[in-house]
Structure 1
Amino acid sequence: MEGLSSKGVLSHLSVLAVQTKRRRNPPQQSTRVKELKAEAEALMMRREQLKAEIQTHKSLQRMRLSMDKQCSHEGEEEMDEDSENSQLLQLMAKHSQLKDLLYAHHLIGGYDIINTSLGKGVCVSVTTAYEGVYLDTYNVEIDLKPVLRITRHNVPPFIPLNELAEQNNIQTNIKAFLDVLSQHLNAHAGRKQQLKLVKERFPSVDVMESNVLCSILVLMFTVPRQKTAVLCTLNYSDHTRCLPTTVHIQCEDKDLPESPEWKKKQSLLMEMPVHKALMTMKTMGDIL
């Protein structure tokens, strides 16, 4: 009996101790209220920040339209042009325009572009080069709306510009069209430059025939051993390349073009730019 009563007393005392501790340390409700207030203040600050960003975006849009129309006084809605905010917004609008141009520059594969027709079109520049030397630059002006349409250009007439635009579907893949156009222009520039170098570096080699596309080149040179004139015709039927597709050699000596030695020279003329092939042949003493 004494053991049972002592256990009951101890249990009762334990319950009383827990209740006393709870009364001394009530839940920290005030701390939770402070946390909620802080969250509410942060949300209100974020709301005001978003409002400011929306207003700035609207101002930038108005200024972009104004800049596109080349009328800086329109669309600014009583904004003081000399104010610090106005100058900042103008800089931001210009920065936004530059970002758009850089994005378009990336989309079309790195070609240089400028806005035309008050933002309704673009002018794309295609620069040609050969062996590290920059040559001619060609420009193609393209309207963007309602569909992509070439309006003006200075591409040579023997380059089938409209045909290339149709074949490569300029409406859906303008980069493919520009890439093919660049291949044609650079190949022509390379062939033209090779012809120029032949005339400058090989006075003993006569250019008998060539055309504006530089797709046919007929040369005459002399074989020093036999003192024989050789007529060499280079045909560039692939207008996207600088190397000939066929090389034909003619000579009074019928056996010379069929000899293994001249078969190698024929292959050399097909595998190397003509001015480099002629330099190799001259160094070897095959031509004057």
Structure 2
Amino acid sequence: MDAIFDKLPDAPALSSQSRAWSGILVEYYHHIANELIAPRLAQHLITLNCGKPYHLIQRFDGHIFEKQVQPGNLILTPAGQPTEWIWDSEVDVLHLLLEPEFINKVVTEVFEGNSAQIEILNSFATPDPRIQQIGQLLLAELESEQLGNRFYGESLANALTVHLIRSYCTVKPVVRHNSSGLSKSKLKRVVEYIQDHLDQDLSLNEIAFEINLSVYHFTRLFKQSMGLAPHQYQIRCRVERAKELLQQGEMAIADIATRVGFYDQSHLNRHFKRIVGVSPKVVQQNSKNFLYISNSVQDRTA
């Protein structure tokens, strides 16, 4: 089967390719008026209109769909079928490509069902506030021009997939919930693992595997136990570790930022000020002043 974007003459303005999010590829395009034919899609494709209304014709599975696509509307095209699109004006769209294996994995782990019974349905020019919200959050991550956080990107991908299965499948499986949170031993293992790898861009799959849970159940149970999503907890741990290093007064702020896993100094500054209430420079300067006063007192009493 073909990768649909191999057929396009233009390159994406933004792409998640370098971020290595598991199961999903997110790309933002500005397309000129065009016609696109793909023999068979390798991935399930969600296209979100991020710009002005445009007229679209789609030929899919022997049917012809034609409509004015409004801002925020989605076109959901399942994998495995030939398809053709024709649009007559410039468009700004966000393409979300989900691997069928990733969908099947979520069906098995989250819904404890048989993925062979699940069929993703075609949907044309449909409003869906939940998918629009997730798409906007993913787009904001791409626009940040920073490597970001794999925990966050993969959390959004899982939330998107669960919603897709619930809302756009022939069978509507039910999620089995456990409301007790993580056990003390599993929570301890996760917390220690995150804190021991603060300088690494960890994957949710990696952490969930450590405690033998699906990504969906891990993220939900972790939040029940800690009151924070995994990516939020990781950021707070990085800020706390940075604060400790700043108070030691031995490293430059830029070096501390990369040591604790932030992309650069500005990335640290943004989260540090949001959580601590002051900039890293203020904490570092206050620590230097405290050390200076302490040393002076020791010199006078020696």
Higher relative contact order (CA 8 A, sep 6+): 2
CA radius of gyration, larger in: 1
Question: Normalization by structure 1: what TM-score?
Answer: 0.26
